[in-house]
Amino acid sequence: MNRTQPRQRQQARSVAAERRASAPAAQDDFQLEQHLFYWLTEIIGRRNRLLAPALRPFGLRVPEWRVLASLKSRHKASFKELAELASFDQTTLSRTIDRMVKTGLVTRLSDVDDMRVTRLALTAKGEQLFHDLWPTVNELNTAACSRLPEGGGAMLRWLLGQMRLALDEMIEKRRPPRNLRRGDAE
């Protein structure tokens, strides 16, 4: 544990206590099924439980599929872009990329505009694997949306995009000014 963690924990507790004091008493009758993120987690979990066995014969796991799909969509992405796109923490992404490079699915490329940046791209083998897996993944996606009304999938994508924008705004508001971030020169 570093020296700032106890201080950060205490600050977090203080903020939480302030929020509790100003929040309505409805917390006492909290129902998990009324919490939107519960449902999002449930859906992703079920999808992953169905997807994992389909990926296994190809030697892939769900995180590797997320990298494969992200790189198929973005072609050449920096590590940072890919972490954001596939919603990975950097340690997990680093291990996943290392495995995928070893198996010949992903390659590392130098960025022609900035030699400090490494770009990641699918190899021909990675492209072929994506094409082999896509019908199975698409069938799963279609089945998951089969009970939605016409246009429901498009509406859901738009709604989730709006939620992401709202959360991005919160992240930006809470980000310390650039000159106060760790590692920045004073």
Please check whether residue 74 lies inside any domain of the structure: yes
Report the b/e string of 127-160 with b at 16+ CB within 10 A: eebbeebeeebeeeeeeeeeeeeeeeeeeeeeee
Is 11 part of any domain?
no
Are residues 97 and 120 in contact, defined by beta-carbon separation less than 8 angstroms?
A: yes
Residue 27 pLDDT: 66
Domain-embedded: residue 51: yes
Q: Is residue 6 part of a domain?
A: no
Supply the pLDDT for residue 186.
Answer: 46
Model's pTM, two decimal places?
Answer: 0.75
CATH of the domain at 134: 1.10.10.10
Count of domains observed in the chain: 1
List of residues 6+ apart from 52 with CB closer than 8 A: 61, 62
Give a yes or no: residue 79 inside a domain. yes
Q: Which domain holds residue 67?
A: 35-146
5 within a domain of the structure (yes/no) = no
Look at residue 142 and tell me if it is in a domain: yes
Residue 13 lies in a domain: no
For residues 82 and 121, what is the distance between their CA atoms, to the nearest angstrom?
Answer: 10
Over its length of 186 residues, how does the chain's per-residue pLDDT go in tens digits?
A: 556 567 767 776 776 666 666 656 556 788 889 899 999 999 999 999 999 999 999 999 999 999 999 999 998 898 889 998 888 888 889 999 999 999 999 999 987 887 778 889 999 999 999 999 999 999 999 999 999 999 999 999 999 999 999 999 999 999 887 776 665 554
Model pLDDT, residue 180: 66
The pLDDT assigned to 22 comes to 60
pLDDT for 23 equals: 59
